[in-house]
Structure 1
Amino acid sequence: MASPSTNTIAFDPALWPSGTLWQPRASLSACVRASMVRNTLGADHTDAQRVNHFPASPMCSLSWWFSGSSQCLNSPPAVAAEGVFGETMPMPGRWVLCGPQTRPVSTWCPGPVHSMMVLVMPDALHALTGLQVSDLIDQFFDASTILPPDWLPMLQQVQDAPDDAQRLQALEEFLEPRWQRYRPSQPLVQQRYSDWVAHLALRAAVSAPGRSLRQLERRIKQWSGLPLRELRVMGRSEEAFLMTAALATQTTAKLDWAQIAVDTGYSDQSHLIRTTRRITGFTPDALGKGIQQQESFWAYRLWM
């Protein structure tokens, strides 16, 4: 059964609780990265507070809305953070499958919402469904029309379950027997992007004849939808984010971005800033202030 973990970091007390981050059972650790539950029922948020910011990510996601709804924003994240939305696009269905995102995404909820987003490893999704992950990149799909037909009863069962714990249990009991035939014999101890990328590269090297760099990269892109170089960029970006979060809990002094850049594999501070802006839509400093003070950065707080 999945287990929840919650924040221990102190933020602006006026912020709504970020939600719950559920970790999968051990046997599904190479299939499901985590599940994020957000419930703002009862909150009286402004339009700007109902924005949701998400970074670029190599993960796929499967989402349910138990109450309320969400729309995609075409505005850049920094603009959306100021409450300027521009054009919005409704989600394509009640249940949504999202492919890997090569750029940050901002969404908006017209009102209070209770939702769940399950982050699925792209190679696991490919193995379980036969979907070509490269066809899903930067797109949202109606999950009921793109997933195999035998997934549909599970989607409905999760929707109808009386609470979040039973929803996660229904999902895991569906995935468990299907994943048995595909899961690696030596599952990951860590589930950071960089660990998964290294594991993926090792699998590519030993999975089939032909070990040239081009053949390895072709296998990795088939499984994940993204080239190895891009996956490593996202892994390094997550490492910098988690290090920054850890340092922020230990000191009130101004963070040394140059040292953080060196410690996480960037060539210099400018390299860190450029990559952070590309992955999140914000500079490191703006991202840090948003996480501490703005409702719309709840997903980042939850991940910390």
Structure 2
Amino acid sequence: MMSDLITPSLGIMNLQQVPRKFQLSRVTPSEDLAFFIRHFWIVRWDLRGQEPYEQHVIPNPCVNLIVEPGRTAIYGPGKEKYGHYLEGQGCVFGVKFKPGGFYPFVGRAVSDMQLSPLSVRSVFDVDPLALETAMFAAEDEQGMVALMEQMIRLKLPGRDAQVTFINEIIDFINEQPDVTKVDALCDRFGVNKRTLQRLFDHYVGVSPKWVIKLARIQNAAEATDVSVKPNWSKLSMDLGYHDQSHFIKDFKSITGQTPDEYARQAQ
């Protein structure tokens, strides 16, 4: 297993603020779990004597199991940015499943999780309070990961070929910024449009159209984080937008801000 700082941002808005406010690291899962899990992530902060801080995150097409005092649960993909309020001193541990990687554990549409998160008890037969106590009593991050891996292995399902197929599609979307329509995915992977939409609804929890939009906006946000003065016209064209107003509308629908507002906050 390997621990490192997350780079690129992986959806963390205004990434340059992170070292000043909290530490974010990830740990690669063991080989037998890597089919289902992208990585484990740990957030630690110590803001004692400082103002509270709210960190915003752009949504992603992944299910997350989050261990946090009083809020431990399994959360489906969101469609809008969300914030986490940090104050005092604390730690949160998370499991980021690969897109589609959580479906084999439950065998039900992940889109249903849009309405409410799942209890770890209902999926892994573990009391959330007992899990929190054990997790935050661990000596280090490796101990936390070992505890979580042990819990997951007890309910590990068989490998599902559809998970591999879905990740091939999403990797293609992320690697090809000129892909702007679901029809292009259907042609590339030889699948019916309705079948693809149903597959994403069940396994991923969001539509392939939304994943395409998200990939482009996240690329734009990350480019903004490292640019002093972004060229919005060029950036929108590079991301496949033929109309800058459409780009601005999509950007705000995901981040809650216009590109200019986001850039000013980043500076």
Given the two structures, how large is their TM-score scaled by the length of structure 1?
Answer: 0.66
Deviation at 1:260, TM superposition (A): 1.0
SS state at 2:250 partner: helix
1:214 to 194, 217, 222: 194
> How many angstroms does 1:55 deviate by?
1.9
| Deviation at residue 168 of structure 1 after TM alignment | 2.0
Please report how far the alpha carbon of residue 8 of structure 1 lies from its aligned counterpart in structure 2 after TM superposition: 9.5
How far residue 62 of structure 1 moved from its aligned partner, in angstroms, is 1.2
Q: Is the 8 A contact 1:134 1:226 kept in 2?
A: yes
Indicate conservation of the 8 Å contact 1:33/1:120, yes or no. Answer: yes
Instruction: State the partner residue of 1:280.
Output: 255
Q: Structure 2 residue aligned with 1:132, among 97, 103, 109?
A: 109
Residue 203 of structure 2 aligns with which residue? 223
Q: Unaligned regions of 5+ residues in structure 1, if any?
A: 70-92, 293-304
CA pair 37-175 structure 1, distance change in 2 beyond 3 A: same
Instruction: Give the Cα–Cα distance (whole angstroms) in 2 for the partners of residues 62 and 221 of structure 1.
Output: 19
| Residue 162 in structure 1 maps to residue 139 in structure 2 | yes
SS of 2:21's equivalent in the other structure is coil
Tell me, what secondary structure is at the counterpart of 1:255?
A: coil
User: In structure 2, how many angstroms separate the alpha carbons of the residues matched to 1:169 and 1:244?
Assistant: 37
| Aligned pair partner of 1:57 in 56, 60, 84 | 60
Q: Does the C-alpha gap of structure 1 residues 175 and 11 become closer, same or farther in structure 2, counting only changes over 3 Å?
A: same
Q: Which residue of 1 aligns with 2:238?
A: 263
The aligned counterpart of 2:39 is: 34
Check the 8 A contact 2:62/2:100 in 1, yes or no. Answer: no
User: Is the alpha carbon distance of 1:98 and 1:29 closer, same or farther for their aligned partners in structure 2, counting shifts above 3 Å?
Assistant: same
> Structure 2: any 5+ residue segments left out of the alignment?
10-14, 180-184
Counterpart in the other structure of 2:159? 181
RMSD, aligned CA? 3.9
> Which residue of the partner structure matches residue 182 of structure 2?
none
Q: Which amino acid aligns with 2:202?
A: Q
Corresponding residue pairs, total: 250
Matching residue's letter, 1:262: M
Q: Which amino acid aligns with 2:159?
A: R
Aligned pairs for 1:1-304 within 5 A: 1-5=1-5, 11=16, 15-25=20-30, 28-41=33-46, 43-47=48-52, 49=53, 51-65=54-68, 93-109=70-86, 111-137=88-114, 139-141=116-118, 143-149=119-125, 155=131, 157-175=134-152, 178=156, 181-182=159-160, 194-195=173-174, 211-245=191-225, 247-248=226-227, 252=228, 254-292=229-267
Instruction: Return closer, same or farther for 1:121/1:240 CA change in 2, 3 Å cut-off.
Output: same
TM-score calculated relative to the size of structure 2:
0.73
CA distance in 2, matches of 1:13, 1:148: 32
Distance 1:214 1:153, change over 3 A: same
1:32–1:121 Cα contact (<8 Å) kept? yes
CA positional deviation for 1:42? 5.2
Secondary structure, aligned partner of 1:128: helix
Greater RCO, CA 8 A, separation 6+: 1
1:97 deviates by: 1.5
CA displacement at 1:225 relative to structure 2: 1.7
Structure 1 Cα separation of the partners of residues 238 and 82 of structure 2: 27
